Amino acid sequence: MANFLTVENSLSASGPPGRTGSLKKSPSANIFVNPIAGGGKCSKKYRTVVHKLREAGVVCNVMTSQYPGHITRVASELAARGHKTFIACGGDGTVNELINGIAGTETAMGIVPLGTGNDFATNMGISKDINLACAIIKERRVKEIDLVRVNDDRFFAGVGCLGFDAEVAAFAGRKRKDGSNPFLLHIMGGILKFVSYKPKTVELRFDGHRYFGDIFLVAFGNTRTYARGMMITPQAVSDDASLDICVVRKMPRWKILSIFPSVYKGAHLNSEEITLHRAGAVYVQSMKPMDLYADGDFMTTTPFRLEVVPKYLKVIVAPSSS
């Protein structure tokens, strides 16, 4: 079992889980903290989160992540014991770890966005303001959303990427150290990879259709945005049992640069080199091995299969998203 930093009372292996329902009736939450999220910002701000929730009458049990996969393991153990409310303090990677511990359970996930991108929280209508995020958690409005299953063992809830963006994410991951600025690493990686990147040949099979050709990138969206607000799959809906697939084909560098600003409004879909497809599942393979990254983390390498699992995650969302 994990080492818990106890704030108000401790969790024991036999401790009683909170009751189902609003935090007003059962004011208890397990808070999962990623201390390196946001370039270390999370380690400095999560105590404010705990303070705000305690003021609202929520009993907080805090676990600080010690290694990759730690949150997933502990969350899975506690969800199996019937604990009902988990809070992710961190960014998209922290959220993804928590999701992989509670997917398909009755546990609901709240989020206080303290990471670099925080795209999933934004798509759920959750404010980056700690006070507002904590107010959303206290109200505990729960929405069931879809998850994307990667092969048979992992999930993501936001956007997966293959090609250029995945190589940038891999670069940033290799260079990252405690205290480094993740956003600057992605900027640096984007510049370096843009100069050296060569289009890759992939095959996509979905709903009886086939795409085969050279791509700059492919994005698989359960939500609309990634990379701090890029609307790569602007029509994606998180509870429609479908995955939006944005294929950006090979094109000259100057044209990529001319299209790039339009991604922030979703207008890149007007380009003839970019197509959007929708499917419940997709099989992907490539001429050479390619990495799939999703929600900031490495998922798998080609070949792989993605499948939408409808309403497989309970999320505490803002009123406008419920």
Helix (H) or strand (E) holding 54: helix 41-55
Q: Is the pLDDT of residue 104 over 80?
A: yes
Residue 2: φ, ψ to 5°: -70, 160
Exposed, middle or buried: residue 3 (CB in 10 Å: 0-12, 13-18, 19+)?
A: exposed
What local confidence, expressed as pLDDT, does residue 21 receive? 43
Amino acid identity, position 256: I
- Buried/exposed code over 206-229 (b: 16+ C-beta within 10 A; e: otherwise): beeeebeeebbbbbbbbbbbbbee
Q: Report the pLDDT averaged over residues 277-290.
A: 97
Mean pLDDT value across the chain: 90
Full-model pTM: 0.90
Question: How many whole angstroms from its chain centre is CA 319?
Answer: 20
Domain 4-140 shares a fold with domain 156-311: no
Is residue 9 over pLDDT 90? no
Adjacent-strand bridge partners of 86 = 30, 109
Higher local confidence (pLDDT), 2 or 192: 192
Question: Domain locations in the chain?
Answer: 4-140, 156-311
Architecture of domain 4-140: 3-Layer(aba) Sandwich (3.40)
The answer to whether 145 touches 317, Cβ cutoff 8 Å, is no
Q: What are phi and psi of 255, to 5 degrees?
A: -75, -35
Q: For domain 156-311, which architecture applies?
A: Sandwich (2.60)
Confidence of residue 17 (pLDDT cuts 50, 70, 90): very low
Give the whole-angstrom CA distance, residue 137 versus residue 117.
Answer: 20
Tokens of residue 113, six digits: 């966005």
Of the candidates 30, 25, 167, 41, the one whose C-alpha atom is nearest the C-alpha of residue 101 is 30
Helix-helix angle 92-102:70-80, to 10 degrees: 40
